[in-house]
Structure 1
Amino acid sequence: MMDTPQEDNAPLPGHLRLLRNLVTVLTVVMIFGVIAITGLLVIRLSAPPAPVLVFPEAFALPAGVAMTGYSQLGGQAVIVGDDGVIRVFDMESGEVTREIDLTDE
């Protein structure tokens, strides 16, 4: 008396087929999500560090002059005063390296 295995070729009921498809889709989405997060971490951590910002309050402007513009270029800070003078400061020493008077004509 040998028992014969039942055939597994019978179609699954609709709700089980839907559940199997949902699990498959969820697995694929999770795999892509893990790959995307890993890729973003690799890109972010291998990028060079952002430059350290130096705030314009660290530079001494003449008395009575207010700052109207500020920018950083390489190792220099450029400050535009309301007196019409552009002052270029060295970011390490804080000293004025150049002054450009815009009111002279």
Structure 2
Amino acid sequence: MDSNPEIPAEEPANLKFLRRLVTTLTATMIVGLVVMITLVVIRLNASTPQLALPDYITLPNGTRATAFTQTPSWYAIVTADDRILIFNRDSGELTQDIRVTSRP
């Protein structure tokens, strides 16, 4: 054992290398995590174009709407009697009437 406790013993070269490697990897992981969080925040805050809702929708008599979806060229209404009504966005006219049936 050393007789002088104030002077630390020299670290082996492998231990120095391992200590530097772990420190470098830790710093790299921290920087990578910060970059990923920043990119997610930027992506979530990016403005997406919002489609305007139609002013009014004329449904066939006796039809009750249960759901609505839209694209830039059409919008669709799902009805309580298991139909999907697809309307043209520009003219507002009914273009398709799709009946949804259940499989036995």
TM-score (norm 1): 0.43
TM-score (norm 2): 0.43
